[in-house]
Structure 1
Amino acid sequence: MKIIRACIYPKDIQCITGRSERYGRKLLNEIKVHFGKESHQFVTSEEFAEYSGINIEIVTEYLQKVS
């Protein structure tokens, strides 16, 4: 069984959305503000999927491929 990462990084957002890595960093900061997280806390794939409206299965499938 493959272990799937729990957190998501700007490079992951870049590959999933086709946008720039800078956009990924900006989006992660927006998600942290939305969920009331501090700057040192990570964003989970579930939080990213909920905020972006992308199906969690698509995000999980991508994370399985790159892990």
Structure 2
Amino acid sequence: MKTHRLFMYAADLMIISGKSERTCRRLLQNMKDHFGLEKRQQITFHQVAEFLCIPVDQILPYIRMLPFVVMDSTP
């Protein structure tokens, strides 16, 4: 995947889920706990997709970043 940014923010989750900012911040914290990340570490699009059990290519159209290109990660 080639994008201008790699990390997911609460605002991105708000667009995808339609939930409030506080709920999305809590969800990001739950993801950090799930993946064993420290406070300074960020959540990536791939981790969000894995946590929510949805493909990355379904997340990217909702993110406010253009242009984006989804590339197959298999060699």
TM-score, length-scaled by structure 2: 0.77
Paired with 1:59 and 1:8, the residues of 2 have a C-alpha distance of 10
* Structure 2: unaligned runs, 5 residues or longer: 66-75
Q: Which has the higher contact order (CA 8 A, sep 6+)?
A: 2
CA–CA distance in structure 1, aligned partners of residues 3 and 55 of structure 2: 20
| Regions of 4+ moved over 4 Å | none
Q: TM (normalized to structure 1)?
A: 0.85
Q: CA RMSD in A?
A: 1.4
Q: Which structure has the bigger radius of gyration?
A: 2
Query: 1:61 and 1:4, CA in 2 relative to 1: closer, same or farther beyond 3 A?
Result: farther
Matched residue pairs, number?
Answer: 64
Q: Which runs of 5+ in 1 are unaligned?
A: none
More helix by share: 1
